[in-house]
Amino acid sequence: MFVQSEKTQGISNRIYTLQLFFLVMSLVLILQCFNLQMINYRHYNDLSLHNYLKATSIMPSRGKIVDRNGHLLVENKVNFSAKVTKKNRPLIESILKEKTHSDLVPLSHKTTIKIKENSELADKVDILSTRQRKYYDSKEMFSVIGYGSFYGQEFKPALGIEKYYDDILKGQPGYDLLKVSARGSLEKTGKSIPPVNGATVTLTIDRDLQKFVHKTLRVSKGAVVVMNPNNGEVLALVSQPSLDSNQIPNMYQNNNPLLKKNQPEFNRVISGLISPGSTIKPIIALSALENNVIKRSYRIQDHGHYVVANHVFHDWVPKGHGIVDLEKAIMVSCDTYFYILAKKMGINLISNAFSEFGLGQKTGIDLPNESSGLVPTPEWKQFNRGASWYVGDTIITTIGQGALLSTPIQLACVTALISNEGFYYVPHLLKGTTDISGHQHQPSHIKKVIRDYDPKHYELIKRSMKKVISDPNGTGHYYFRNRSYSVAGKTGTTQITSHHSQRADAPIPLHLENHSLFIGYAPVDHPQVIVVTIVENSELSAATVSRKILDFYFKHMVNNDEIKL
Amino acid sequence: MRSNSSTFDTTLLSLIFIYIGIGIIILYSGTDQNIPTLMRQLSRLSCGIFLMFMASLINPRDLNEMGTVFFFLSIIILLAVYLFGSSGKGAQRWLDIGVIKFQPSEIVKLTLPLALASWLDFRTNTFTNHFISFSILAIPCLLILIQPDLGTAILIGSTGLIMILISGLPSYMIAMCIGFAITAIPYAWFNILHDYQKARIITFLNPGHDSMGAGYHIIQSKIAIGSGGFAGKGWLNGTQSHLFFLPEHATDFIFGIVGEEFGFIGTTFIILLILAITYRVLMIAHKIDKPYERYVCCGLITNFFLGSIINIGMVIGIFPVVGVPLPLISYGGTHAWILLISLGIIFSMIRSYISR
């Protein structure tokens, strides 16, 4: 055993110090590892997962739209196209058997399958798939279905049912969890949430009736709504002019002038504001009876005009109608009778009546962009026009002109209310939905609106409206000669150009034509169907159009069980 | 006479083989299970182990006498790399002498402690001699620093400094050293360090500053380590490494794999194993009564320990990124050979003392 010198003893002490130093350094490292791995594990684990896990969405396929009888109206299609490069151009040309100069050539499904099945070809040809919404009877259905288009994988609804029921149609996207490396390679983890495809929407619309209505309403501007008063189901809803839903995205791309000129996206049935004209006379009469302004037997001597405050208001028949009672007033659409009622009722009672029948309010139909119309009041005029309300204003309001504006769908509700003698169902287009597993859902509660007036008053009004058609003197009689069913209705004509047509630059002669309106229901005793027709600036009469529609309805659809009472 | 088997300290030898064995398991994951790469490293390690045994046969006295040779050898090869070196990643670190291409600064890790140990053994306690000690250390360190290789310079510098301190230094010299360091560090910052080295140090102080640039390494390696948790994601299951978020995970950042795949258990085990090897050598050094052998043991094992600590510290984010490999585990030839030769020399130094 060596005896350590003082020098080596000093060195040994310093080595102990070094050992302590190394121990402390090691503990510092372990402490930092503890900090990273034990204390902050969650944080760093999240960062690590965030680094390499990426969720990509799998788009669901959009729901189909079918009519009440299951006829397909809208579905999805996938279009394939091949990317053309310098390398594969000869190959693609040989497959297609034609020369091509574009970078992207459309492929038929047959060719696509041929390429995909051949692995040698599949390696060389890059196939892109684009999704497309395919609309059938697209021009006829446009007012109901609207349109939308795919931007890449995402569908953007723009109008109509496509937009209103987007939540039902679009489904839920699924997710695929991918492993991503820092170098960009992708690998499936096998973990995914499958997409839920959109539900099929069944409409209350009858495709054949809708097509017929579209064909019949051969005018530049007009609107028709056909509705079942017993449940609020809309059987046909047509607004002219119309567009082809399939073409609209392209039209926007090409800045097609048709879009601006005709405003075809404007749906006249729900947004078109028109003066309802004489079609609202039944409401005035009902209200006058209900508020005891007149008795049922109230009659006047009509000389063809009425003078109020030094102003002469003319009847549409210059000589007048002679002795006129309420029934006749509606049947022949006697203006003078209603001028007198106006004077007796006053504007407040009249505007109240309009509001009670739903004018000036949205009906709540399941389509976007519905207008509420306008029921004028003295306050409204003071506020908007800065002028006082005159008796003359009351008088022209009573015959459905002046500032009073309504939509065709509102008139349909008014007609339903009268035909049902006191209630109507909110008009709707959704009959039901069928989800991906086949479960059917009915739309939740359809709102029923009730106006409990005296049944005798309703009966009187309905009898008057029946006479409009059945009595040889009735304003609608001529249009409904030789019919095989009973009809009640009311015609209307407005001399003033409608709110909307003021913007159009239609030819002048046509522009001077009156708007023609018809509201009606049939059969008279147990109403099954309501027709409201508006024809703007045309020689074609709304009553003629309605007659053809009702003829078609009773010929082709009355056997349909769902329509029968 | 002692039998041949007792010429080695079996405890130390076992610890080294355990460490190398674990290193191979880690490197298999680090190379992304690339068998050819792993085989190349295995052949290097086998060769290194052979060199270790050869080195253990050297007589310490012969080595002591070659101190001057080692010093000038260090200077010459460092100058050579400065004159003829080929660059890798913007630094002149490699010397290509036809047959093999190697990093001279790695060789200096071996030769300089040997040269310094000879001098410390020889010198008497005068101011001039102490000054010479520092010069022997400083000249090669500066040459490495201007290559530039900050990591190796720091490593060799601190190893040498520890050797000088172990050998005994008067307190006035220690005071002077501290004074010198305070003035030299700002000078080095503005005149010697390259922009990328400064950027690394700045990044170290504030890693979030530039996460896709210089800070990316630190952030990703901290995520790798931290996401390993207590027990790790399992061997070969590291996502940070195998999906390439952790750069250089076979070389400088291989400790990230330890942390990610073996968790806190793995990191603690490796650190304690390194400490155990170091302690085993230092415990034996206490028994040695010849200063030269002690200096060599302390110097070479300090080199191993500090190299490991700087590497691990850099990967776990408590040291700047300086590009020092994890001894014996990181992929690479030169550093493994030098380390195994160093261990062989340590064996030769302690051979006469292990049986006591």
Q: Between chain A and chain B, how many beta carbons pairs sit less than 8 Å apart?
A: 132
Q: What does the block give as tokens for B54? A: 């050869």
Q: What does the block give as tokens for A165? A: 């029921």
Mutation for A interface: B122, B124, B166, most A CBs within 10 A: B166
- From chain A, the residues in CB contact with B263 under 8 A are 37
What residue numbers bound the domain in which A73 lies? 58-202
In a domain, A22, yes or no: no
Whether residue A136 sits in one domain with residue A240: no
- Cβ burial B316-354 (10 Å sphere, 16+ → b, else e): bbebbbbbbbbbbbbbbbbbbbbbbbbbbbbbbbbbebb
In a domain, A1, yes or no: no
Last residue of a domain, one of A174, A202, A230: A202
A-contacting residues in B 309-338 (Cβ below 8 Å): 309, 312-313, 316-318
Q: Which of the pair, A445 or B75, is modelled with greater confidence?
A: B75
Bond into B325 cis (ω within 30): no
565 residues of chain A, pLDDT tens digit each: 344 566 667 888 899 999 999 999 999 999 999 999 999 999 999 999 998 888 888 888 899 999 999 999 999 888 888 888 877 888 888 887 777 777 778 888 888 888 888 877 777 788 888 888 999 999 999 999 999 888 877 888 988 999 999 999 998 988 888 888 888 788 887 788 889 999 999 999 999 999 999 999 987 789 999 999 999 999 999 998 888 888 887 777 777 776 666 676 789 999 988 899 999 999 999 999 999 999 989 999 998 889 888 888 888 888 889 999 999 999 999 999 999 999 999 999 999 999 999 999 999 999 998 999 999 999 999 998 888 999 889 998 998 888 899 999 999 999 999 999 999 999 999 999 998 888 888 877 788 888 889 999 999 999 999 999 999 999 999 999 988 899 999 999 886 443 343 444 433 345 556 889 999 999 999 999 999 999 988 888 899 999 999 999 998 876 554 444 3
In a domain, A131, yes or no: yes
pLDDT tens sequence across B132-144:
999 999 999 988 8
Whether residue A226 sits in one domain with residue A132: no
Q: What pLDDT is attached to residue B35?
A: 93
Whether residue A125 sits in one domain with residue A72: yes
In a domain, A234, yes or no: yes
Whether residue A113 lies within 8 A of chain B, CB to CB, comes out as no
Whether residue A230 sits in one domain with residue A156: no
Q: What pLDDT is attached to residue A84?
A: 82
Q: What pLDDT is attached to residue B96?
A: 63
- From chain A, the residues in CB contact with B229 under 8 A are 37-38, 41, 45
User: What residue type is A271 in one-letter code?
Assistant: S
User: What residue type is B113 in one-letter code?
Assistant: P
Q: What pLDDT is attached to residue A220?
A: 75
Whether residue A478 sits in one domain with residue A386: yes
Whether residue A299 sits in one domain with residue A440: yes
Select from A7, A29, A183 the Cβ nearest to the Cβ of B271.
Answer: A29
For residue A273, give the CATH number of its domain: 3.40.710.10
- Residue B252 to residues B85, B295, B315, B323: CA-CA distances in angstroms? 22, 28, 8, 6
CA dist A378 and A351 (Å) reads 10
In a domain, A488, yes or no: yes
Contacts of A79 (CB under 8 A, 6+ apart): A106, A129, A130, A131, A132
Cβ distance of A47 and B278 shorter than 8 Å = no
Q: Which of the pair, A188 or B300, is modelled with greater confidence?
A: B300
Nearest Cα of chain A lies from the Cα of B338 at a distance, in angstroms, of 22
CA dist A90 and A97 (Å) reads 10
Last residue of a domain, one of A150, A170, A202: A202
Whether residue B224 lies within 8 A of chain A, CB to CB, comes out as yes
For chain A, the domain total comes to 2
> Are B161 and B297 a contacting pair, CB within 8 Å?
no
In a domain, A382, yes or no: yes
Q: What does the block give as tokens for A84? A: 């053309």
Q: What pLDDT is attached to residue B93?
A: 62
A-contacting residues in B 173-212 (Cβ below 8 Å): none
pLDDT tens sequence across B1-18:
344 445 688 999 999 999
pLDDT tens sequence across B15-50:
999 999 999 999 999 999 999 999 999 999 999 999
Whether residue A499 sits in one domain with residue A367: yes
Whether residue A395 sits in one domain with residue A343: yes
pLDDT tens sequence across B78-100:
888 877 766 555 455 666 655 55
Q: What pLDDT is attached to residue B300?
A: 95
For residue A114, give the CATH number of its domain: 3.90.1310.10
Nearest Cα of chain A lies from the Cα of B135 at a distance, in angstroms, of 22
| ipTM (interface predicted TM) | 0.91
Whether residue B275 lies within 8 A of chain A, CB to CB, comes out as yes
User: Is residue B356 over pLDDT 60?
Assistant: no
Q: What pLDDT is attached to residue A506?
A: 39
Nearest Cα of chain A lies from the Cα of B6 at a distance, in angstroms, of 19
Instruction: Tell the burial category of B257 from Cβ atoms under 10 Å away from its Cβ (0-12, 13-18, 19+).
Output: buried
Whether residue A475 sits in one domain with residue A352: yes
Task: For B266, name the nearest residue in chain A, comparing CA atoms only.
Answer: A33
Whether residue A216 sits in one domain with residue A158: no
In a domain, A19, yes or no: no
Whether residue A20 lies within 8 A of chain B, CB to CB, comes out as no
pLDDT tens sequence across B157-188:
999 999 999 988 888 888 888 888 788 887 87
Whether residue A277 sits in one domain with residue A163: no
In a domain, A112, yes or no: yes
Last residue of a domain, one of A202, A233, A259: A202
Whether residue A214 sits in one domain with residue A305: yes
